[in-house]
Amino acid sequence: MRLAVVLDCADAPALVPFWSAALGYTHVASVPGFEVLAAGDEPGSPTFLLQQVAEPRVGKNRMHLDVHPPLDLGVPALVARLEALGGRRLGEPVTGLLEDLGIWWQTMADPEGNELDVVADPGHPPVGAY
């Protein structure tokens, strides 16, 4: 069984740089109405599709992605990279699970407002270093 994640969007080609950076994926194909991103050498990683649709986004996402950057990149660097590509932070870092699980995250939106969390796993610098 394979898994693909599909994100509806108004301008699929315009979101390719943002989502490629967010996921560490490579843009591998363009077909009418879709842009296809894939993990390079990570077997079992889902394919990520940007599907161009006419309907505008309405309300909060019913599902979102949690992106866990590698330690050598870290949350602050990935957040800055995504902001440079048109993303924006939504609120302050979320630290509700920091004490219990050692994780915190920054909720963000892509250039069209689709939400994602950039998650700092244990071992990442503490939120205060952010």
Mean per-residue pLDDT pooled into runs of 10, the chain (130 residues): 91 97 96 94 88 87 90 92 97 91 94 95 78
Q: Give the largest CA-CA distance in the chain.
A: 47
> What does the pLDDT read at residue 129?
59
From residue 59, give the alpha-carbon distance in Å to each of 16, 56, 63, 87, 104: 22, 10, 12, 18, 25
> What does the pLDDT read at residue 130?
59
Pair 66, 74: CB distance under 8 Å:
no
> What does the pLDDT read at residue 85?
97
Task: List the one residue out of 51, 50, 66 whose CA is nearest residue 104.
Answer: 66
> What does the pLDDT read at residue 124?
85
> What does the pLDDT read at residue 62?
81
| 3-state DSSP assignment of residue 20 | helix
State which H helix or E strand residue 7 sits in: strand 4-9
| 3-state DSSP assignment of residue 12 | helix
d(CA 58, CA 73): 33
This prediction has a pTM of 0.89
- Count of other CB atoms within 10 angstroms of residue 105: 22
